[in-house]
Amino acid sequence: MDATTVLAFLAAVAALIGLALVLRRPTGDGGAALREALSAQLRAAQQGTQGQVELLAHSVAELRAELGRSLGATEQQLATQAGTTHRTLNDLSRQLGGLSEQSQRIGELAKDIGSLQDLLRAPKARGGFGELLLERLLHDALPATAYEV
């Protein structure tokens, strides 16, 4: 039960008590004055209750406005973080794709090295390959007149 409901309930109870007191008294000169006094007290209680209800309503409205502002700021932060996370995940995905390609190339190079190793197992093939490498090295480093093949 919220505060507004409690205050309205208390005002209704006070009105009923006042009405019961007025109805139980015998009619006469003293009864009229008592009724008037009770009516005045009842009006004062109702006005006080109405003021408190208005104050509570104003407080609730302020709290709602603050909550709305807070939720808006939180929503904006979440949207910003979601965008950042999305960009980061896209970058990671792209980098993982690049790593996958590089891993595949390394696997192909390993196969090529294995094939070369198989070719160079025979001593004669190794010697021929070594001579070829030496000839290319000399060709790249020295003029053609400086060496003989």
Report pLDDT for 77: 96
CA atoms in the 13 A half-sphere facing the CB of 11: 18
| Amino acid identity at 119 | L
Q: CA 64 to CA 72: how far, in whole Å?
A: 12
pLDDT tens profile 31-59: 677 778 888 888 888 888 888 888 888 99
The residue extents of the domains of the chain are 3-121
- List C-alpha distances in Å: 41 to 7, 18, 123, 140, 145: 16, 9, 122, 116, 129
Report pLDDT for 118: 75
pLDDT tens profile 3-17: 777 777 777 777 777
Low-confidence stretches of the chain (pLDDT beneath 50): none
Report pLDDT for 90: 94
End-to-end CA distance of the chain: 106
- List C-alpha distances in Å: 32 to 28, 41, 88: 7, 14, 83
3-state secondary structure of 148: coil
Report pLDDT for 124: 80
